[in-house]
Structure 1
Amino acid sequence: MIHTLDLSLLIERISAADTEEQRLIFNEPEIQQLEAGSLATLFEALPLDQRMELWRQLPLNDHVDVLTAMRADTREWVIQSLTSVELDLVLAKLDNLSLIEWADSLPEEIIDRAIDMLSKEDLELFDRANQYTDEQIGRYANPKVISLPQGISVKRARVLLERYGYHYPAPIYVVTRSKKFVGAINYQQLMEAETTEKLSALADTECPVLEDDTSLTEAVEAIEHSERFSLPIVDENYAIVGDIDLHLALELMRENYESTLMANAGMSEEDDLFAPIAKSARKRAIWLGINLVTAVLAAMTISLFEDVIAEVVALAILMPIVASMGGIAGSQTLTLMIRGMALNQVTAGNRMSLLRNECGIGFLNGVLWAVLIGIMAGLWFQSPVLGIVIAVGIVINIITAALFGVLIPVALDKLELDPALAGSVVLTTVTDVVGFFAFLGTAKLLLL
């Protein structure tokens, strides 16, 4: 198995090779033996003209797994680059779980084409999964779990497991005749039990379960704290829908982290590293335009004090310090809030306490850094009054940053907007406008 470090060296080796050498590298056994996730990572690291060369060297049986492991943008590019025959070969091997992951990022005509090729069983599972939203764990539940009736004996259970082709350590769930969940059975315990004993007597009825409408965040937390490799998912009638395992939980955690990280730059975690230039430029242009609006608001605030800046040129030198201190303080609070909201730790009951706490932190840090920067500015420009001006501006801006770092994500969440995506833009506007207004307004009062 190639590890992360080896994969980075492989990418570097491919990038330095010419076309003929790349073909030879793609045919090497160690690349053919890479798992789907590593192959997907390799695809995403290659320029567009090299991807299809690697794609056509992969065994057909690996195509669906590799595509599913890719980011949506990369997957869409590969699929659109396939011929009609190649696409049919891929879609023919698609199952319901993979199609669920693909459904949100591919054109309707391709999804419809894939649905027409699904088996009757997979089509039923796909339709059931589509009853849930993107944020409900029922949509991503693995429906192909092993469940055994509670009334059968251990001997009969062993026969059925062998018939199912059971592989350890897949979970074994015990259900009633109406498919209601009863409990889970430990495989080792099943092998050691008396053959005449009933499963109902062996089932762990204390096994925690997840309701199918549970949010993804809550589901990931539940399996994280359960000390189990998987948890069953049940519907409103307590019938088992499927389960979630640690692999899926880790994947959801990674996607959530990447989503937050990329959203802070106005981008998506599905964005392709080598996406077509025109497409990427169009996506990023929207957020550059929004940023321009915020910059114009800050500039308009500054323009209100042109006379002050003209009289005291030192103010223009010190303005970036005020904006930067407010921006950093605000981003700290905003990041804390977004994480707390993602983990469902921020509620109506603790918001005021959190607000007071953050404002207290903002006040202490504001005073501390205002004094230090005020002294430095006063000595630098030989003007104690100028030191007082920037100190006042920094105190006000850092407290404002803490205040709005709490209020903005709460307000955006109520408006059903993603705080991670829009929060930083709105907060930057607030800290810039308030910071410049407080700094230049104080200067106008004390220096002119």
Structure 2
Amino acid sequence: MSDHKDLSLFIESLTQADEIQQTKQLTAYLNDGMESDTIARLLEALQVEQRVRLWRALPLEFHIAVLTDMRAEARISVIQSLTATELKLILAKLDNLSLLEWEDSLPDEIISEALRLISRDELELYDQANQYDDNQLGHWANRKVFTLPFNIRVSRAKVLLDKYQESSTPYIYLINRDKKFRGLISYADVLTAEPSAPISTLNKTNLTLLRATQPLSEAVSALEHSEYPTLPVLSDHGILIGEIDWQFSLSVQREIYEARLMAGTGIHEGDDLFAPVFKGVQKRGLWLGINLMTAILASITIGLFENVIAQVVALAVLMPIVASMGGIAGSQTLTLMVRAMALNQITAGNRWVFLKNELGIGAFNGIVWALIIGAMAGLWYQSPQLGMTIAFAIVVNIATAALFGVLIPVLLDKFKLDPALAGSVILTTVTDVVGFFAFLGTAGAILL
């Protein structure tokens, strides 16, 4: 799959075909080498009935991979459509990483059934992963890596590789008897090396070592700047836990991007494009209710100055300008702050420097745009007092927006809440209330 345009063409072709043609087209896509994640995106773009039917038409070896690559709700829509026998067959084939991916979105009874059915080896790996929190790298590391003793010679390594048929393994990890990490080598280097050479002489240099307790964001950043497509994950005692590769990194980055993109609206990145109407109403209705409460707070503020607005009608025309300028300025600061926090660039040492910088930008922009808007409003309504009123309100609101654009994410983070999810709603409420209060309060003191 080369790009989003190709995906849209495939989706368009599938949606216009009948059932028989859809199955034939999907088979043709698979024969052309389409990957499981692309198949997942295709099926997500279809209504549930079509999605389930085409998933069943996939070769068995694709079933688990495609479900794992689907977003959570789309995956659930397929699983809920399976018969009891089909579900048991699927759960029995799960590996530990797929089960980790599924467990947050499936009912407890299905997860319990999966734990009963999966192989003993996969269950052991699953238990090892759950020794770490789901935001730590050790939870998601691929533990199925090929290892060799670090003190053998190349000739012996070739024998072991041939014996276990690991020619498809691009990288091999070297460990000691205690399973502590001793190096990373490539399969290609083993093939071309002198048979009598120690295997350790093939070690890769400038290799970044990741800790199992590291946050996912740090690991993704490390892999992004690494010259190798895979990196080892170690315990605090240097024992090799597993690895992460660039595909994992891309997957995490995509999920982070989607979460940030959708968070401000209360929609989760795992939501299904064709979710049932009632389920969609439930999830979105809650967010609409939250926004209604914030809107009522802004309306109450306006209501406090109802007599001022009644006497100076121009205020009602100009109020949206004050709120909008504060909202845009605040969202700029908030976006920078949330991004910096996600990348671990904001610390106690530089947080207040950033706040001071944003306040400076807010004050300067506030004064410049206050003069422009104040002059325009004064000339429009032939009232210098009205121009000064809106100018003062804009300076106050933009400075307030800069202040709270920094403070709100800090406070939400301390309460273990996602700043990207709730930050924009709270900030909009603050800028609306402060803007209206400054504008209408000043107008009441000056114009009446």
Residue equivalent to 2:52: 52
Whole-angstrom CA distance in 1 between matches of 2:303 and 2:434: 14
TM-score normalised by the chain length of structure 2: 0.96
- Choose which of 17, 22, 40 in structure 1 pairs with 2:19: 22
The residue type equivalent to 2:368 in the other structure is L
SS at match of 1:10: helix
Contact 2:170-2:188 at 8 Å conserved across structures: no
Task: Find the counterpart in structure 2 of residue 147 from structure 1.
Answer: 147
- Indicate if the aligned counterparts of 1:60 and 1:90 stay in contact, CA closer than 8 A: no
Matched residue, 2:186: 186
Match of 1:27, SS state, is helix
Residue matched to 2:258: 258
Residue 192 of structure 1: how far off its partner (Å): 2.7
Change (3 A) 1:289 1:275: same
Q: Shift of residue 375 of structure 1?
A: 1.4
Q: Select which of 16, 28, 31 maps to 2:29.
A: 31
Q: Report if the CA contact (8 A) 2:144-2:242 is conserved.
A: yes
Give the Å deviation of 1:377.
1.2
The alpha carbon displacement at 1:15 in A equals: 2.9
Distance 1:357 1:168 in 2: 53
Task: Report the CA distance shift for 1:275/1:23 in structure 2 as closer, same or farther (over 3 A).
Answer: same
The residue type paired with residue 173 of structure 2 is Y
Given that 1:23 and 1:54 are in contact with CA atoms closer than 8 Å, whether structure 2 keeps it comes out as no
Query: Residues of 2 paired with 1:394 and 1:387: CA distance?
Result: 11
| Pair 61,192 (structure 1): closer, same or farther in 2 beyond 3 Å | closer
Task: Provide Cα deviations, 1:333-361, integer angstroms capped at 9, x if missing partner.
Answer: 11100000000000000011000000111
Larger mean CA deviation between 79-88 and 7-16 belongs to 7-16
Other-structure match for 1:446 = 446
* 2-structure distance, mates of 1:243, 1:2: 27
CA offset digits 1:171-202 (Å, max 9, x no partner): 21111111100111233332232212222333
Query: Which shows bigger deviation, 195-204 or 61-70?
Result: 195-204
Question: 1:335 and 2:335 equivalent?
Answer: yes
**Contact kept? 2:358, 2:403, Cα under 8 Å:** yes
For 1:263 and 1:331, the matched residues in 2 are separated by 14
2:225 is paired with a residue whose SS is: helix
Distance 1:146 1:397 in 2: 59
Output the CA distance in 1 between the equivalents of 2:20 and 2:378: 66
Q: Give the gaps of 5 or more residues in structure 2.
A: none
What code does the residue aligned with 1:365 have?
N
Residues in 1 aligned to 2:392 and 2:287: alpha-carbon distance in whole angstroms = 32
Task: Decide which moves more: 125-134 or 159-168.
Answer: 159-168
1:367 maps to 2:363: no
Deviates more, 1:426-435 or 1:165-174: 165-174
Mapping for residues 169-318 of structure 1, pairs under 5 Å: 170-204=170-204, 206-318=206-318
Question: Aligned letter for 1:315?
Answer: L
Q: Secondary structure at the match of 1:182?
A: strand
SS in 2 for 1:56: helix
Distance of 1:348 and 1:287 partners within structure 2: 32
- Partner SS, residue 184 of structure 2: strand
Q: Is the 8 A contact 2:48 2:78 kept in 1?
A: no
Worse-superposed segment, 255-264 or 371-380? 371-380
Amino acid of the residue matched to residue 25 of structure 1? Q
Deviation of 1:364 (Å):
1.2
- Which one-letter code corresponds to 2:351 in the other structure? R
TM-score using structure 1 length: 0.96
Retained in 2: the 8 A contact 1:27–1:57? Answer: no
The residue matched to 1:405 in structure 2 has which SS? helix
Residues of 2 paired with 1:428 and 1:331: CA distance? 8
**AA matched with 1:30:** A
The CA deviation at 1:3 is 4.8
Q: How large is the Cα RMSD of the aligned pairs? A: 1.5
Deviations 1:198-230 (A, max 9, x none): 223332465221110100000001111122111
Q: Offset at 1:77?
A: 1.1
Write the distance in 1 (CA, Å) between the matches of 2:366 and 2:169: 55
Asked whether the equivalents of residues 183 and 204 of structure 1 are also in contact (C-alpha less than 8 Å), the reply is yes
